[in-house]
Amino acid sequence: MTSTPLPRTALLTGVGRRRGIGAAIARGLAEDGYDLALSFHAPYDRRVLKEDSDVELLAEELRGTGRRVELLPGDLSDPAVPPQVVTAARGALGPLGALVMCHCESVDSAILDTTVESFDRHYAVNVRASWLLLKGFAEQVARGPRTPGGAVIALTSDHTAHNLPYGATKGALDRLVLAGTHELADRGIRTNAINPGPIDTGWMDDGIRGAVAEQTPGGELGGPQTVADLVRFLVSERGAWIRGQLLLSNGGFATPAL
C-alpha cells in the first residue's frame, strides 16, 4: 500500500513527566523528525502521582535535538480546553499529522466506594476530552482523495476490578477511537488503540514488579520504550495499513497457557 506522508507534527497529551510513557513517545517521534506539542496538567501529577511535573526539562532536551516543542498546560476535564489545545498546537506547528493521547484520570476505587464526583471526572478526562481532541484533530484535516490525512493513537487498558471508573471509561475510549477509522475515512485519518499492559513509570514497588513479571511469559516487564516503538511504527508510512485496531502490546501479560 502507498500513502501520502503525514506532516511531521504531532500533538501528545499526558506528557507531564520525563519518565512517563508520553515522554518516551515524544523522544521517539522527535528522533523521527516530528515537531511536538505537549499537553500536560501538573496538578494531576501532584495529586495522583505525587510528583512534580518536569515537562519543561523534557522540552529543553527535545529542543536540543533541533525539534520545535510547544508546551500546552491545561485541565482536560474542562470541555473548553481540548479544542483550545488542538488550536494552539496547530497555531504553533502548522497542520498536525498525528495525535497521540496518553492522558488519563486514574484513581483506584471499586463498585462500592467510587464517588459520583470521581466517576464524572474519569469520564470527562478519559472519554469526553478524548472525543473533543479527536474531533478537533479531524476538523483541521481536509477531506478528499489528496488529503494528507492523519494518525490517531490512544493508550487504553483492560484493568477493571478495583479500578472501576478508570477501566469503564477506558472501555468507552476504545469504542470512540476505533470508530474514527470509519467515520473519518474521507479525511484519510487512521485510528488505533494500544493496550500496553502494566508499564513501570515509577509507580511499581519491588513486590508489584515481581508479580507482574511472573504473569508475563518472558518473565520481563515492559517499559515506556516498548510503547514508543509501536507508536512510531503506527504513525509511519509502513504502519499505515493498520487501522481501526485495538492492539495488545503487553508481552503476553496474563495470557492463559494453552
Query: How confident is the model over 39-54, as a mean pLDDT?
Result: 92
CA angle 248, 249, 253 (to 5 degrees): 85
- In single-letter form, the type of residue at position 45 comes to D
Rg of the Cα atoms in the chain = 18
Alpha carbon of 96 to those of 140, 164, 183: distances in Å?
Answer: 8, 34, 19
**pLDDT for the residue numbered 1:** 43
Alpha carbon of 47 to those of 76, 81, 105, 141, 222: distances in Å?
Answer: 15, 20, 11, 35, 25
Nearest-angstrom CA–CA distance, 114 and 116: 7
**pLDDT per residue over 202-231, tens digit each?**
666 667 666 776 667 776 777 889 999 999
Alpha carbon of 192 to those of 31, 94, 153, 163, 199: distances in Å?
Answer: 22, 23, 5, 23, 19
Query: How confident is the model over 179-196, as a mean pLDDT?
Result: 96
**pLDDT for the residue numbered 222:** 73
pLDDT band with cut points at 50, 70 and 90 for residue 30? very high
User: In percent, how much of the chain has pLDDT > 90?
Assistant: 76
| Contact between residue 185 and residue 244 where contact means Cβ atoms under 8 Å apart | no
Query: How confident is the model over 6-30, as a mean pLDDT?
Result: 96
Average pLDDT, the chain: 91
**pLDDT for the residue numbered 258:** 44
**pLDDT for the residue numbered 2:** 44
pLDDT > 80? residue 54: yes
- Domains of the chain with bracketed CATH: 9-248 (3.40.50.720)
Query: How confident is the model over 173-193, as a mean pLDDT?
Result: 96
